[in-house]
């Protein structure tokens, strides 16, 4: 599993560091491991993407671009390595309570404001991402490849009007 990643960096050279870790590292890691998996006749590669790869986030242009590239890489690697029995998929988490979000969740109103956009009405927890990763790594997903699975509680794909306070009459 390619799970290393870093958020936006505003310092000089920051974009290169984000590109290196979020895109180039999974590219090279998968290349290095594909030979062994191919010799075995099977394998499962799982990239950690983000919903930022499919929506525009003004504060995260480089991060989002690298995750969009990772989603494309997932499809390309699935096409390249599938004939060797290697499946390649990605998981795109939404708003998950992690260390990466620790500072953002402390900004007054930010966490609650974002939460109102989640159909399930709450932030996710890391175990919910782990469950999807475990599925993709298992034989239960033996016919799944080239997919980016969004795990975001309905943040991206639905509008949850009911999660907003009702107007007073």
What sign has the CA pseudo-torsion 138, 141, 144, 149?
negative
Tell me the longest C-alpha to C-alpha distance in the chain. 68
Residue spans per domain, the chain: 14-153
| Res. 64 pLDDT band, cuts 50 70 90 | very high
| Res. 168 pLDDT band, cuts 50 70 90 | low
Decide which of 1.10.8.100, 3.40.50.300, 3.40.50.720, 3.40.30.10 is the CATH code for 14-153: 3.40.50.720
In the chain, pLDDT over 70 holds for what percent of residues?
Answer: 93
Q: In terms of Cα–Cα distance, which of 52, 58, 56 is closest to 70?
A: 52
Catalytic member of 63, 81, 143, 155: 63
Summarize pLDDT for 136-166 with one digit per residue, the tens: 999 999 999 999 999 999 998 776 666 666 6
First to last CA, the chain: 52
- Catalytic: 23? no
pLDDT at residue 163, as a whole number: 65
pLDDT at residue 105, as a whole number: 84
């Amino acid at each position: 599993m390619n799970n290393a990643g870093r958020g936006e960096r505003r310092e000089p050279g920051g974009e290169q560091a984000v590109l290196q870790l979020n895109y180039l590292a999974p590219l090279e890691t998968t290349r290095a491991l594909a030979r062994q998996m191919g010799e075995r006749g099977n394998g499962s590669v799982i990239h950690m993407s983000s919903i930022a790869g499919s929506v525009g986030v003004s504060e995260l242009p480089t991060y989002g671009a690298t995750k969009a590239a990772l989603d494309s890489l997932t499809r390309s690697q699935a096409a390249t390595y599938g004939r060797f029995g290697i499946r390649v998929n990605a998981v795109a988490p939404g708003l998950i309570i992690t260390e990466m979000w620790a500072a953002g969740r402390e900004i007054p109103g930010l966490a609650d404001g974002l939460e109102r956009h989640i159909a399930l009405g709450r932030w996710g927890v890391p175990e919910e991402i782990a469950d999807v990763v475990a599925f993709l790594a298992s034989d239960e997903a033996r016919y799944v490849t080239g997919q980016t699975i969004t795990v975001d509680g309905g943040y991206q794909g639905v509008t949850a009007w009911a999660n907003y306070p009702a107007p007073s009459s």
